[in-house]
Amino acid sequence: MRAWLLNDFKGIGSLRLAQAPDPIPGPTDAVLQVHYAALNPADRYLAERQYPAKPRLPHILGRDGMGLIVQSPKSKAQSPTKVQSPKSSAKDPNDFPAHVRTGEKMMVLRGEVGVDAPGTFAERVAVPIQNLVEVPPGWTDEEAAGATLVYITAHQALTIWGGGGVQSPKAKARSPASEPRTASSAFRSPALDQSQSHEVVLVTGASGGVGVAAIQLAAAMGHTVLALSRSPEKRKRLVELGAAATFDPEQPTWPKEVKDWLSVNQHDTSALGRVSLAIDNIGGTLLPQVIETLGDLGRVSVVGRLAGPVPNFNTATLLFRRIRIGGVAISAYPPAESCSAWQQVLKLLSKTGVRPIVDSVFPFDQLPQAFDRLAQGPLGKVVLKVAA
């Protein structure tokens, strides 16, 4: 088969399109003939040795993709106790082989594919069956190719805190009058909080794969979404996708503009005119400014660091508003948790009827150009057409 091979860890420039042996599936792997794959910044990090995984070389990158099952697994999946966490609502893993049939169209759900195991920038890839999900009805192949990783990431970023947003007056009326708003009440169960809390969610790098997914999911949850993008054209699109307002992070005055906007437009007293949850894909010099916009008990879900380390950070900025910063890592999800998060994502998307946003589709032999596009800052996902 043809595959993009990574022969060293000197970066994306080292990738070469070459012949590679067909994948040898394990007993619970299916073989997917890849139709479309999608790019993620983590592919570049891995190619530059900036990622914890150190796969055997030559490696094949690519965590996302969809295609046809050309070989179904020989054995049943692992026992439920190995892959299913007690709290998960995911399907019984022993059901997985039943829905992984030869000739079926499926998508890769987050796992080791493209990380420690060979990935989707190849004509065929072996995928553990618990890391495969059906293409949702009505989605195009291109939309399906890059959806799972970014939506699960955005979902985790929105839900890791177990709620804690400032209650809307409606929610306050429903909750017991005696319940004081204390720091510990900010850590209630997600189910309770998701039904009660209205968040003002600020998304940085909002035009990217994770950013667009975060806007769509947060809007479906009923939150007010504020989005940052450096591009005026993309800012217009982000409003169409569900952002209530957008701001230019290259304007030093943007944190004040956010506060001014909230004081005029946020009538339900949420976060007292401040952001309650920030989803940060950027880091760098932007993070201290993001913290400026947060209200009492504001939280930052740290997803990425496209602008690198934060150069100068005063921890005192966290103290008086009791601000909390937490990391997002979808690699922490076992397969059943990913599956459960994916089901919740689909439920949310079906509420608003939105679908994944594809920025561009590149032919298989133009993977380096596709990575250039990703580095420029896409709107949605950059997709690679492998075969169709």
Ligand X SMILES: NC(=O)c1ccc[n+]([C@@H]2O[C@H](COP(=O)([O-])OP(=O)(O)OC[C@H]3O[C@@H](n4cnc5c(N)ncnc54)[C@H](OP(=O)(O)O)[C@@H]3O)[C@@H](O)[C@H]2O)c1
**Which of 281, 293, 338, 340 contacts ligand X by CB under 6 A?**
281
**306 near ligand X (CB under 6 A):** yes
**41 near ligand X (CB under 6 A):** yes
Tell me the closest approach of the beta carbon of residue 126 to ligand X, in angstroms.
Answer: 23
Residues 6+ apart with CB under 8 A from 159: 190, 194
**Which of 77, 328, 341, 383 contacts ligand X by CB under 6 A?**
328
Tell me the closest approach of the beta carbon of residue 5 to ligand X, in angstroms.
Answer: 22
Per the CB < 8 A criterion, the answer to whether 345 and 338 are in contact is no
String marking each residue 191-220 x if it binds ligand X according to CB under 6 A: --------------x-xxxxx---------
Tokens 């709290």 belong to residue: 87
Residues 6+ apart with CB under 8 A from 114: 43, 60, 61, 62, 63, 64, 120, 121
With CA atoms as reference, report the closest residue to 137 among 351, 355, 382, 336. 355
**73 near ligand X (CB under 6 A):** no
The packing angle between helices 209-220 and 147-159, to 10°, is 60
Tell me the closest approach of the beta carbon of residue 279 to ligand X, in angstroms.
Answer: 9
* Range in contact with ligand X (rule: CB under 6 A) among 37-45, 67-75, 78-86, 191-199: 37-45
**Which of 153, 194, 293, 340 contacts ligand X by CB under 6 A?**
153
Q: Could you say which DSSP state residue 165 is in?
A: P
Tell me the closest approach of the beta carbon of residue 246 to ligand X, in angstroms.
Answer: 10
Residue type, 87: K
Q: In Å, what is the CA distance from 369 to each residue of 49, 141, 247, 273, 278?
A: 21, 21, 29, 43, 32
Q: E strands of 72-112, at which residues?
A: 105-108
Q: Which is nearer to ligand X, 105 or 305 (CB)?
A: 305
- Rounded CA-CA distance 44/67 in Å is 23
Q: Taking the CA atoms of 357, 360, 364 and 366 in sequence, report the sign of the dihedral they define.
A: negative
* Range in contact with ligand X (rule: CB under 6 A) among 25-33, 39-47, 165-173, 311-319: 39-47
Tell me the closest approach of the beta carbon of residue 341 to ligand X, in angstroms.
Answer: 12
Tell me the closest approach of the beta carbon of residue 342 to ligand X, in angstroms.
Answer: 14
Total number of residues binding ligand X (CB under 6 A)? 29
**147 near ligand X (CB under 6 A):** no
**231 near ligand X (CB under 6 A):** yes
Q: Which residues bind ligand X (CB under 6 A)?
A: 40-42, 149-150, 153, 205, 207-211, 229-231, 234, 281-282, 303-307, 328-330, 374, 377-378
